[in-house]
Amino acid sequence: MAADPLRLGILGAAHIAPMALVRPAQRVPEATVLAVAARDPERARRFAARHGIPRVHPSYDALLADAEIDAIYNPLPNSLHAPWTIRALAAGKHVLCEKPFAANAAEAEEMARAAERAGRVLVEAFHWRYHPLFARVRAILDAGEIGQVRHLEAHFCIPLPLPNDIRWRKDLAGGALMDTGCYTVSVLRHLAGAEPEVVSAQGWWTRGGVDRAMGASLRFPDGRTARLTCSLFSAWLLRASATVEGSAGRVSVFNPIAPHFYHRLRVLTPAGTRSERVAGPSTYECQLRAFVAAVRDGAPVPTGPADAVKNMRVIDAIYAAAGRRV
């Protein structure tokens, strides 16, 4: 007999929630979205009605107190990831927390300790990592098709001309590095399979002290180098790519972040150049299946607390190198 589906509650009626969880849950029978809560109860009711969510709670605390909810999805503003994730874990809930994991590495470490104390699953929602495209790129590198890896690059730049968007607010831990840049750090770390040090970084800042763009150079312990760029408003405008340069060739990926919409994988080797497409469902569906497997079966996940802490440490180091004002 099949087990009951994992019952999830959503903290906040966030714009990302339908794409990241509600629609994927409709395609994953092992999961269901049971409830939602928002600061504005009326907004929560409208959100629930629009997306067929059966239960609306008047507050975040009421949602966490619901004994029928097994796990929480936390898409709140970045500065609220740590406090509400920790409270959810203390309430006995598993947590799928949106990226970036926290406002800084110290908060991430607190979250990791809270998950260990509670004995609950905690996953950072780096959905890109769960699509088969990553496994394919990793297989190409592991097979030595481009020789010894020497340099990696990751770029994720978008235009965000919305001055009231929360990603422009310093008090909510906004900024380009936190929003799109956290992906580039994750991509570089996972493709390299190692932790980098920050060599240099340059930020472009708003008057409110938020980075609208960031560039950074990194170095790995074995001498490999890396470069990242990210932005919410810059001359780069729109970029989403990853490149790995080797001694005998190159692998490049257009749109490694959301490959289910469209992507292109190109491989240059001494034998010639080829293009590939890697079939698979949405990255969010892949992520949800992995999260359910982690909760139900104890399956390992590549973006658990230990990985999240390491990613935040690199982000902190980039900000420090760029001279961010505290």
DSSP helix/strand/coil, 251: strand
Q: Please state, in angstroms and rounded to a whole number, the distance separating the CA atoms of residues 154 and 164.
A: 28
Task: List, edge to edge, every strand of the sheet that includes 211-219.
Answer: 197-205, 211-219, 225-231, 149-157, 239-246, 249-254, 264-269, 272-276
Q: Which residues, other chains included, contact 246 with Cβ-Cβ below 8 Å and sequence gap of 6+?
A: 141, 145, 146, 147, 148, 149, 150
99 is a catalytic site residue:
yes
Find, among 64, 207, 270, 281, the residue nearest to 74 by Cα. Answer: 64
Catalytic residue among 93, 99, 170, 310: 99
Answer for the pair 266, 273: CB distance below 8 angstroms, yes or no.
yes
Q: Please state, in angstroms and rounded to a whole number, the distance separating the CA atoms of residues 132 and 28.
A: 17
Catalytic residues: 99
